[in-house]
Structure 1
Amino acid sequence: MNKTHVIEHLKFALEAQLNSAKQAAKAAHDAATHEESVAETQYDTLGLEAAYLAQGQAERVNECYKSIKQFEAIFKEPTHNKVIISSLVRLEDENTAQKWFYLGPAAGGLTVEVKGIIIQVVTPEAPLGKQLLGKQLDDEISLTIAGKNHEYEVVEIL
């Protein structure tokens, strides 16, 4: 796995998230300021609801900008022998099934596909991220998901 390719895919995915958020914010703003959103009675809340939606979408755009800045700060981090924020990690379960994760500062849950392999961003606040931080090759991780215990081994850190 080439970490540089993963980083490029992450950059594109973060930019796509930002563009999507911008479009949603513009649509929400347009709806909130449209003449049909003006209240006709004291019980007409369409305009108020549209304004709240516009505000939420604007906050989403700001979060996207923050995520991009946070990722830019770590993309050039060198590879370490321990998992740190910016590490690309391959885990293997007891059936030798492999999963790839990028430990990022934000945008948890974001996924990218590189050469047919899915890489998911996980943050240090997530249960998996907490366990990954500081791990080394051959360390084990145990997670309980939906009441079922899953065991993984760290087999690669980039």
Structure 2
Amino acid sequence: MKETVIAAVIQSLEKELERQARANAQSNAASAFSAAHAEKQRDTTGFEAAHLARGYAGQALELQHRMDELKAMPVEDFTGQEIDVGAMVEVDFDGESDTYLLLNCGGGTEVKVDGCTVTVITPESPLGSRLMNNFEAGFVELPTGLEGIILAVY
């Protein structure tokens, strides 16, 4: 199942990359148009659009790099091992079970596979940092004070 989840995450990130490419193209077009049609000396619209385009381009490059790493990442089984990047973890918070996939990119991405919703978290996130190096049947406490029990690690 983990392979299917990772494939769905990659597909979702590819859509995000396409969205960023479109936004970059729009910002570049706006930059060129504004520079050619500036009405006042202090009209900074073109400069702002160019700055925005550079930001989108940088984000797109970073996302592409992370996706390449994700595509090359071996799919491991973390059963009985410490939780690390690549682990899928089921956690119970107050009687509700949620499934998370710990990856270096795509934090917040949700995918639905075989009726199960899986949320991508990163090691930098509050939950991701608390799960790292933990084991199945361990406890996890978030900075908010919410406590959970690690039910399964895949």
RMSD: 1.5
Residue in 1 aligned with 2:143? 144
Q: What's the CA shift for 1:77?
A: 3.2
Larger CA deviation: 129-138 vs 37-46: 37-46
d(CA) in 2 for partners of 1:72 and 1:43? 46
> Cα deviation per residue 1:89-140 (whole Å; 9 max; x = unaligned)?
1101232x11111100122112212233221111111121111111111000
Residue in 2 aligned with 1:25? 24
Aligned residue pairs: how many? 151
Q: Is the 8 A contact 2:102 2:120 kept in 1?
A: yes
Residue in 1 aligned with 2:70? 71
d(CA) in 2 for partners of 1:120 and 1:47? 38
**TM-score calculated relative to the size of structure 1:** 0.88
d(CA) in 2 for partners of 1:94 and 1:15? 34
Residue in 2 aligned with 1:157? 153
Any idea what SS the aligned residue of 2:146 has?
strand
Seq. identity, %: 26
Any idea what SS the aligned residue of 2:69 has?
helix
AA of the residue aligned to 1:85? V
Any idea what SS the aligned residue of 1:144 has?
coil
> Cα deviation per residue 1:39-74 (whole Å; 9 max; x = unaligned)?
332211111111111111111211220220221232
Residue in 2 aligned with 1:91? 91
Where structure 2 has 5 or more consecutive residues not aligned to the other structure, the ranges are: none
Where structure 1 has 5 or more consecutive residues not aligned to the other structure, the ranges are: none
**TM-score calculated relative to the size of structure 2:** 0.90
